[in-house]
Structure 1
């Protein structure tokens, strides 16, 4: 007896379906192909476990000198739950030439990371790309990276070369499922785009080879639409169209195959079902497999036999799929792909975030109280944290249909190419929006793995490891470039005592020191030896983190348009102070920058003070120096060494310059590099000797930081004996970059207790909070103060629950100077 694998809910369909398709023979879906699919998808979800990253920004456009406030969400691509693989998030701001303007390395905890980017005051006006990724995501290609275009608006435009080449409108046709087949009726989607990548409206008609008009066509949304065609043998079809700019063109439709299959899907007619129909004209009975895959798992599968001229139809429950893109694939029983169709399943189960204020209108600098409420589909409270941005709706024109957390995680992150106005597809739940979304999925294409890769289990080679913490990696080589197997790498930095950690090199000479957790830059010494403890003729090379994405350009508005859109009030409000440059952390200990579970092998005076140079240009015993009134040993060098000038930079702060160089010399204490100001903290009587390198050749042993010469101080603690280290590359000083410093958003308190500025408060971002935490009741309260503009403010909250449900909420309120409404 032939049976469908169905639930009781649809049991009443069985008699009707059997009558309609009595000649169809159904077999168990647990075929070898389906078993292979399940096996490969399980491997993909567990061993590969791709990630997605989304950035919530405080606003879509900025002026030079402003700060970009951002919150990063790093999630598992299948479940959308916080990732368990990566704890380090990279954010790059790229210009039109793919050059990094600013770069961040952020610490992600439970899949969330906060950060900010200070835009240079001289940043040229134009379109920039913000991209975010983890090292693990590099295994799956740069197309998997998050990217968002932001506009920098200003008073002056950069000079742009005029492109004098003719640019034509692009019109493409996409038969549903993949191919037109002679004698079988198919829907054909189309998409018309301008040279800048945006859609353009069009009208036209389709003609056959005899120049007979068959029917009219017209786009329904941003240059996209569809029509139905039943191609005949020996015919070719042509579309003659007129675009909204008045231009006309003719396009030939794809040629129909003599035999094949047509996959038709209707996901918009029934709110609870997806209607799937398959027709074919191949000779003989064919065994076919239909699958529905979503979130990297087979959600629906069925194998059936189809005779020529017959149609297979199936109602598939949407509730069996998670919200997001589903791929319906038709294949032969041995895995040969025949057709594919993407659909969007919307179960209306995203996180519901509502925002409300205690008033609708506030006076200038009045206190605002905002309530945040988070609930799930059933109305139950959700405890999680959100990012909240409140911006001036007049100065910062909102991008109402732009990219948001729902549109990215559920839609565009799984599609190829640029999607115009992605937020539109998550607006009102009406037929026009659903139809436009269907056309988008018929014309855009799947971004991730293809059917052939899935059926064969051919996934990308994993070249990049997930980062759970900061690490220093490198290679120990001979001076001829051969790897040193079984050697040892040793790392230490200057603390109260010399503490160190060691690790063995592998067969390729590779080593890794993991478990670091610090902010800013730290100078580390890394030394390599072979398996017999020898250092001569060895070199240590550190892996430099110089990777930068090379993303394809997305057409952007001309800079003249960005200048024209900049109001005087916006430019005035955008003038902010630049943040101070990052400094090197010179007072940290090794124990202080390692995670608690990392063991330090030694914490004592590991070696005697060392030096890389054989001979110094000047060697001074401190017994021969006068006592400095300030106690600063650098002051005592005044007039004692030819070519060394000493000047006073502040109380007890003396600096030196060698041979008139504008660059500060490299200061070493017992062989360890320190910052210039550290010398003011040293007691002159703790120093036993000073060696000075004035010659660039001898100073070059210490790298580029020694371009201003070297002043090496040796403490009495190290003893009078000096261990002379043979010059070489087996011991190097590496400046390790930690996490980027995260600034706190400043929100003034006009409460009468704190002195308030008399300057007008014209901030475009009134409030930014990257972590608004709702309690067990799903509620949170935030307070801030209005500014000094008659305007409307827009509040946008975005976040994702621990269950992997994204959501966003929006509200507005007004400010009227001098008056407030209840």
Structure 2
């Protein structure tokens, strides 16, 4: 089916209206096709989508998700990659939790249990295979979510930004309101604040909350980066010695927007009519509605412009030789500015693609120069579906191209010169009904009562009405408690077909798929005109020496490393043994090569499994050094979708969080949920004793990660940094120096309360170290001001009155090794009221039902569950992919009353 579609598209009668058709043997087109096929074979496209059960969460919640990994233009489920990495990352780019899931035919499901001590704020869920790391972080699934906390959180904030001009400069006036969970304002409280950009201090100060609990502060608003990526860290003193830190992302508008113009195909040529797209982006990273006029260098008005959606718009224009043009812009507040249009050339090509009807594309190439042949190629996901060449000596080309020759998604039309140089490029979004999965969801009743059993029926069909066999995930939430903004929602169609192929930030991508009509299609085309394609650059594709992939596909685990002598030389033909630490029953042997390297390949192990690595020389000598290989996760910084971060996370999820607070206390009665507070007296007693000499200004043990002496005794390291390497989340050691993975800056090192450095830290005897506390979150680093912006390592040495831990002696040539293994997903709790159940507990659930492993047999599937005990609108979301790569999504609602 795939090959039929490919060749049908390639050999379409290009000259339906075209001037000149082509032969597949044409030199330029053949060369481009050959190079693109070579690139696609060496660099196959792989994409990940996670279906989440809800759009936001609170501390103590569970995040349930289903993963879909697809490949190629036909969106087939990926059979090759076998391991998927899924990470929960906080707003300061620190990885809080990470999982490895085993993929089976491109599918996996898992969950994150959020502890009730988790700080409220903006988080991200990131998912990627090892292979995807070859192409940078933009190819990785990375979705922003909000997580609130009404359990341990005592301070709630709401922030507003206002722009003002003072003495010719932009100033951002900020108001932060502080209150408790009941809305009672914190009046007369001292607040320290720091304005940060990339963890560098921009300004800081101190204030006191007024009679309404408000803190007013101001800072300069002339740095656009600060207004879109900066943050404000405040410390509110709620009582003596008790300071609560809050981090608020800065999303402020100051002055005019950044307005850019994008001629269709990339060029404006004098005397040739073309479409000009434009985009207005505010300093907060979001689109701004503008209007204005186009005037020439003589001041004559020659056109008008108006945004149609999220700061984007399109107007038609014909530039004239000898003239320059600018846009006179009017902003929503009435302020004005001007911006120059790109300069038009006297020679060149204009590439125009329009959609005269729902079935076809009209492609036109116009030039003011003759004698130069050109070729036009259209590809999607690395496969050519259309190609044509101009008639020799002609300066015009026109063709009608059926849309159904392309798969759904982004098609890239590129105009090449006679020597194969790319001249113009145009992106077009294709909505092809032939590869859209039709999902029908029905219920056995029109409406239901609380706690009543519900039966949902799913009917999956392809575009021809045939039954579709596929894998789906189903989420049911009480929309009354969990309101959803569908334009910002995580959406399988928007992710796999749109944003995964575009450069930069796309605002509200789901909007274009929720209600497909002429208006949304026109707005989607404006997005295509203003957004860049990111899958490859033609110069890389056409290179004869294409670079190999650094990261291979990971189907199973590989445990590898290097064995050296104490002086660093390789141990050749050394004997290496992998031993299961828990029972010693599993033993696998390997032999080192000429460089001392070894590898145990094609193994799978659970997340909790521990190993011992034992190495000997060829003569069975033990005096060797074992160094294990590690592959660090992709950098978590430079997140492109920071504009999706919620400024007021705490207040925006308050209604949902209040319901979850009741659920929390009900779970506490029965010892259920992700709760550590009830065990605090048991858990902390030993730790308090072990950390009693800590100089942590937040209080001993108030850190993002803690290692005690008992965690270090079995590693036999010479330097402390060697013991810590790979064991601290978000921390790397370069030449013994701790470096944050968030921006690469050096972390502050504090030893027994004194500011120190890595050199002194590594001079300590490992046996003298009692604890290492890692501060990465703004709530813990804020008290250290700007010096702690990159994170803090607090090292406490022993005093003699701490608990004593005795090492397990492994001897020379043996090292413990505990890699992250496969996570076994938990099962969603779905109560049945006809059995013995805790009714109040079940009634408070907001995710009523979650099933990630729905398979349609004969195109059909059904499932049963019980409603919760509350009235409301219940929302069902089904997403999935069938065996042919057809993607489907359906939303269904029913009432409970």
Structure 1 residues 227 and 457: CA distance shift in structure 2, 3 A: farther
Shift of 1:365: 0.9
Shift of 1:453: 1.6
Matched, 1:164 2:220: yes
Which position in structure 2 is the counterpart of 1:411?
498
Query: Secondary structure of the equivalent of 1:432?
Result: helix
**Which structure 2 residues correspond to residues 728-739 of structure 1 after superposition, within 5 A?**
728=812, 730-739=813-822
1:71 to 66, 69, 72: 66
Which position in structure 2 is the counterpart of 1:247?
335
Which position in structure 1 is the counterpart of 2:440?
354
Within 2, Cα distance between the matches of 1:49 and 1:557?
Answer: 30
Within 1, Cα distance between the matches of 2:15 and 2:348?
Answer: 28
Q: Deviations over 1:150-201 (max 9, x none)?
A: 1123454477847632344121100000111222222110111222222221
Structure 1 residues 439 and 745: CA distance shift in structure 2, 3 A: same
Gaps of 5+ in 2: 1-6, 158-192, 196-217, 223-253, 665-671, 677-707, 716-763, 773-801
Choose 417-426 or 333-342, whichever is displaced more.
Answer: 417-426
User: CA contact under 8 A between 2:11 and 2:386: conserved in structure 1?
Assistant: no
Q: Deviations over 1:623-660 (max 9, x none)?
A: xxxxxxxxxxxxxxxxxxxxxxxxxxxxxxxxxxxxxx
Which position in structure 1 is the counterpart of 2:413?
328
Shift of 1:572: 2.7
User: CA contact under 8 A between 1:63 and 1:571: conserved in structure 2?
Assistant: no
Within 2, Cα distance between the matches of 1:371 and 1:6?
Answer: 37
User: CA contact under 8 A between 1:665 and 1:707: conserved in structure 2?
Assistant: no
Choose 445-454 or 71-80, whichever is displaced more.
Answer: 71-80
User: CA contact under 8 A between 2:132 and 2:139: conserved in structure 1?
Assistant: yes
User: CA contact under 8 A between 1:65 and 1:118: conserved in structure 2?
Assistant: yes
Matched, 1:518 2:587: no
Within 1, Cα distance between the matches of 2:439 and 2:112?
Answer: 27
Matched, 1:541 2:637: no
Choose 509-518 or 378-387, whichever is displaced more.
Answer: 509-518
Matched, 1:813 2:894: yes
Which position in structure 2 is the counterpart of 1:318?
403
Which position in structure 1 is the counterpart of 2:236?
none
Which position in structure 1 is the counterpart of 2:134?
139
Structure 1 residues 482 and 360: CA distance shift in structure 2, 3 A: farther
Query: Secondary structure of the equivalent of 2:609?
Result: strand
2:474 to 388, 392, 403: 388
Matched, 1:424 2:503: no
Within 2, Cα distance between the matches of 1:104 and 1:8?
Answer: 42
Which position in structure 2 is the counterpart of 1:629?
none
User: CA contact under 8 A between 2:51 and 2:490: conserved in structure 1?
Assistant: no
Which position in structure 2 is the counterpart of 1:761?
843
2:429 to 344, 359, 365: 344
- TM-score, normalisation: structure 1: 0.77
Within 1, Cα distance between the matches of 2:492 and 2:481?
Answer: 23
Within 1, Cα distance between the matches of 2:14 and 2:548?
Answer: 48
User: CA contact under 8 A between 1:199 and 1:224: conserved in structure 2?
Assistant: yes
Which position in structure 2 is the counterpart of 1:619?
none
Query: Secondary structure of the equivalent of 1:763?
Result: coil
Shift of 1:73: 0.7
Q: Deviations over 1:490-539 (max 9, x none)?
A: 21125766542112334443322123323222221112234454443x21
Which position in structure 2 is the counterpart of 1:779?
860
Shift of 1:297: 0.8
Within 2, Cα distance between the matches of 1:780 and 1:287?
Answer: 56
Structure 1 residues 543 and 567: CA distance shift in structure 2, 3 A: same
Shift of 1:427: 3.2
Structure 1 residues 568 and 12: CA distance shift in structure 2, 3 A: closer
User: CA contact under 8 A between 1:154 and 1:562: conserved in structure 2?
Assistant: no
Shift of 1:747: 0.9
User: CA contact under 8 A between 1:295 and 1:322: conserved in structure 2?
Assistant: no
User: CA contact under 8 A between 1:354 and 1:810: conserved in structure 2?
Assistant: no
Which position in structure 2 is the counterpart of 1:447?
534
Choose 76-85 or 385-394, whichever is displaced more.
Answer: 76-85
User: CA contact under 8 A between 1:87 and 1:469: conserved in structure 2?
Assistant: yes
User: CA contact under 8 A between 2:61 and 2:674: conserved in structure 1?
Assistant: no
Which position in structure 2 is the counterpart of 1:257?
345
Which position in structure 1 is the counterpart of 2:297?
209
Which position in structure 2 is the counterpart of 1:371?
457
User: CA contact under 8 A between 1:172 and 1:191: conserved in structure 2?
Assistant: yes
- TM-score, normalisation: structure 2: 0.71
Within 2, Cα distance between the matches of 1:788 and 1:432?
Answer: 41
Structure 1 residues 760 and 371: CA distance shift in structure 2, 3 A: closer
Matched, 1:798 2:879: yes
Which position in structure 2 is the counterpart of 1:275?
362
Query: Secondary structure of the equivalent of 2:373?
Result: strand
Which position in structure 1 is the counterpart of 2:576?
489
User: CA contact under 8 A between 2:156 and 2:651: conserved in structure 1?
Assistant: no
Query: Secondary structure of the equivalent of 1:744?
Result: coil
Which position in structure 2 is the counterpart of 1:741?
824
Which position in structure 2 is the counterpart of 1:475?
562
Which position in structure 2 is the counterpart of 1:197?
285
Which position in structure 2 is the counterpart of 1:119?
114
Shift of 1:280: 1.2
Query: Secondary structure of the equivalent of 1:737?
Result: coil
Shift of 1:321: 1.3
Query: Secondary structure of the equivalent of 1:787?
Result: coil
Structure 1 residues 559 and 188: CA distance shift in structure 2, 3 A: closer
Within 1, Cα distance between the matches of 2:14 and 2:115?
Answer: 67
Within 2, Cα distance between the matches of 1:507 and 1:802?
Answer: 46
Structure 1 residues 172 and 485: CA distance shift in structure 2, 3 A: farther
Structure 1 residues 478 and 37: CA distance shift in structure 2, 3 A: farther
Q: Deviations over 1:653-680 (max 9, x none)?
A: xxxxxxxx99599799xxxxxxxxxxxx
Within 2, Cα distance between the matches of 1:8 and 1:58?
Answer: 41
Matched, 1:51 2:46: yes
Which position in structure 1 is the counterpart of 2:380?
294
User: CA contact under 8 A between 1:139 and 1:460: conserved in structure 2?
Assistant: no
User: CA contact under 8 A between 1:325 and 1:411: conserved in structure 2?
Assistant: yes
Which position in structure 2 is the counterpart of 1:181?
269
User: CA contact under 8 A between 1:324 and 1:344: conserved in structure 2?
Assistant: yes
**Which structure 2 residues correspond to residues 617-632 of structure 1 after superposition, within 5 A?**
none
User: CA contact under 8 A between 1:329 and 1:341: conserved in structure 2?
Assistant: yes
User: CA contact under 8 A between 2:76 and 2:884: conserved in structure 1?
Assistant: yes
Structure 1 residues 12 and 452: CA distance shift in structure 2, 3 A: closer
Shift of 1:457: 5.0
Which position in structure 1 is the counterpart of 2:92?
97
Gaps of 5+ in 1: 582-660, 669-695, 714-724, 817-822
Query: Secondary structure of the equivalent of 2:825?
Result: coil
1:152 to 143, 147, 156: 147
User: CA contact under 8 A between 2:482 and 2:656: conserved in structure 1?
Assistant: no
Choose 558-567 or 778-787, whichever is displaced more.
Answer: 558-567
Query: Secondary structure of the equivalent of 1:456?
Result: coil
User: CA contact under 8 A between 2:831 and 2:837: conserved in structure 1?
Assistant: no
Within 2, Cα distance between the matches of 1:363 and 1:35?
Answer: 65
Which position in structure 1 is the counterpart of 2:240?
none
